[in-house]
Amino acid sequence: MLLRLFALAALTFGIVFAQSEAGAVTSPVLHVDENDPMVMRARDNLEQTKKLVMMGALPPLRLRKAQDEVQDALDMSLLKKSLYSNDLTPAQIDEMVFVAQKMVFRRRRSMAEMQELVSAGVISRSEGEATSADLERAVKELEVAETRAKLIQQLAESVRVEKAYASIETEAEFHPEWNGKVYLRYDGNGAFTRADLLDVESAFIGKFLRPLPISADGETAVHRSLGFNHRGRVDVAVSPDQPEGQWLLKYLQGKHIPYFAFRTAVPGKATGAHIHLGPQSTKLAF
């Protein structure tokens, strides 16, 4: 019964993957290194196993195992490249996790088959235990892939937020009529130092028991690409209409620290409510 359930799941899983390869659902976006030594060894072993099975020197189940090892090697080659890549797209992230899930599924199926063979006395218990160890390694690879995917997604979201904030800040220079509507401006003493930032962070932690949610500290690639100097400025990812934002504005005014508090998004732009600590960013000199 267990093998039949796994066979049905494998058929369904295979259909989905075949559709993906054919482009009906999606198309592969990551590529295997065909010259990976691990892949080449697995393929050589498969060819040798085919010959031995045809000669009757090995049971047919060895051929299935060798075929799985080739697919494992292909998937591992792909994962090795993707897990340490710094420029994965969202589609590549999804496929990376999908490949790791396939490995886990394949090894679970193999372990179930091997356990039945152990029970029937066809193979040794040590061989069945080796299959269990393979499954544990696949589960760990999946955990790494999922963690990597989460980090990449968080980084992408952080960049998106930074772009939204920087875009609104730079546009504010050309829209003085936004003052009091899109943003609130306080010039204070015109200065903002690292010591001021440390004081703000300490006070925020003391009040809310969590770190100040800084989204951009000083000069960033995003601000440079927009032609603005963000050195000595800090963006904080809180809305001035939230309790944390209201407290922060009062604190900054009490310390005479300048700020721009963006309370709403510019029409047609992504959300960008945040508080900019320090004077307004200046244009870069090229």
Q: What is the mean pLDDT of each run of 10 residues along the chain (286 residues)?
A: 35 34 42 80 90 84 83 80 66 80 82 75 71 78 74 65 70 73 88 94 95 86 70 90 95 95 62 84 57
Q: Could you tell me what percentage of the chain is helix, strand and coil, using 3-state DSSP and rounding each to the nearest 5?
A: 60, 10, 30
Specify the pLDDT at position 122.
66
- Parallel/antiparallel/unpaired status of strands 282-283 and 228-229: antiparallel
End-to-end alpha carbon distance in the chain: 72
Specify the pLDDT at position 123.
67
**Domain end point (choices 129, 159, 189):** 159
41 and 132 both lie in a single domain: yes
Residue 255 neighbours by CB under 8 Å, 6+ apart: 188, 196, 199, 200
CA atoms of 245 and 21, how far apart (whole Å): 49
**Domain end point (choices 159, 181, 207):** 159
146 and 277 both lie in a single domain: no
191 and 272 both lie in a single domain: yes
Specify the pLDDT at position 126.
77
CA atoms of 246 and 249, how far apart (whole Å): 5
58 and 24 both lie in a single domain: yes
Specify the pLDDT at position 189.
93
* 247, part of any domain: yes
Q: Answer whether 258's CB lies under 8 Å from 186's CB.
A: yes
144 and 257 both lie in a single domain: no
102 and 190 both lie in a single domain: no
Q: Answer whether 212's CB lies under 8 Å from 196's CB.
A: no
Q: Range of 181's domain?
A: 173-283
Six-digit token pair at 186? 């306080």
Specify the pLDDT at position 186.
93
What are residue 228's DSSP bridge partners? Answer: 283
Specify the pLDDT at position 18.
35
116 and 247 both lie in a single domain: no
109 and 179 both lie in a single domain: no
Tell me how far the alpha carbon of residue 269 is from its chain's centroid: 24
Tell me how far the alpha carbon of residue 49 is from its chain's centroid: 39
* 113, part of any domain: yes
Q: Answer whether 269's CB lies under 8 Å from 214's CB.
A: no
* 167, part of any domain: no
Q: How many separate domains does the chain show?
A: 2
CA atoms of 138 and 235, how far apart (whole Å): 41
Burial tier of 220 (Cβ tally within 10 Å: 0-12, 13-18, 19+): buried
- The helix (run of H) or strand (run of E) holding residue 216 is strand 214-217
181 and 278 both lie in a single domain: yes
CA atoms of 251 and 186, how far apart (whole Å): 12
**Helices 61-83 and 37-55, packing angle to 10 deg:** 170
CA trace torsion 162, 167, 172, 174 (10° rounding): 160
Q: Answer whether 228's CB lies under 8 Å from 166's CB.
A: yes
Specify the pLDDT at position 157.
63
CA atoms of 217 and 72, how far apart (whole Å): 43
